[in-house]
């Protein structure tokens, strides 16, 4: 089981914000912004580069979950950023696909 599968199974504690049949959203343990949460599919796909066209419905569901949870967290008015890190150059550290949602401060561009 991956770390995020264990969080979804409540084997490892996390601050869970929202959940659907196929996904769970919880606060990042090392927040990089005043609000920073992850949206994770319950079925482990290691990273977005390993998704297939047949995963497109799940990917849409994850984006919708990010939006609805961002609204719930009060981020709709001022905005937020959604990030997916893929592979070593992308900064991925946990090999279980996840969307970062960051908000509560102004983001910089280009990212580091
Ligand atoms: P990545 O670097 O793979 O894009 O993102 C992994 C994220 O998972 C990091 O932002 C990291 O802080 C977060 N993370 C790692 N371990 C845990 C944990 O045990 N609980 C929670 N809630 N987040 C974690």
pLDDT tens track of the chain, all 112 residues? Answer: 999 999 999 999 999 999 999 999 999 999 999 999 999 999 999 999 999 999 999 999 999 999 999 999 999 999 999 999 999 999 999 999 999 999 999 999 999 8
Domain 3-103 = CATH 3.30.428.10: yes
Per-residue DSSP letters for 54-94? GGHHHHHHHHHHHHHHHHHTT-TTT-EEEE---HHHHT--S
What are the domain boundaries of the chain?
Answer: 3-103
- Report the predicted TM-score, pTM, of the whole model to 2 decimal places: 0.98
For ligand 1, whether the C-beta of 5 sits within 6 Å is: no
C-alpha 91 – ligand 1 centre gap (Å) = 11
C-alpha 17 – ligand 1 centre gap (Å) = 15
CA gap 41, 31 in Å, rounded = 20
Q: Where in the sequence numbering do the catalytic residues fall?
A: 98
């Amino acid at each position: 089981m991956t770390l995020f599968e264990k969080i979804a199974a409540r084997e490892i504690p996390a601050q869970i914000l929202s959940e659907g049949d196929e996904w769970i959203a919880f606060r990042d343990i090392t927040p990089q912004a005043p609000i920073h949460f992850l949206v994770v599919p319950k079925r482990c796909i290691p990273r977005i580069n390993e998704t297939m066209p047949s995963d497109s419905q799940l990917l849409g569901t994850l984006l919708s979950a990010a939006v609805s949870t961002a609204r719930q967290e009060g981020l709709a008015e001022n905005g937020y950023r959604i990030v997916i890190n893929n592979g070593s150059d992308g900064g991925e550290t946990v090999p279980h696909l996840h969307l970062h949602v960051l908000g509560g401060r102004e983001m910089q561009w280009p990212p580091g």
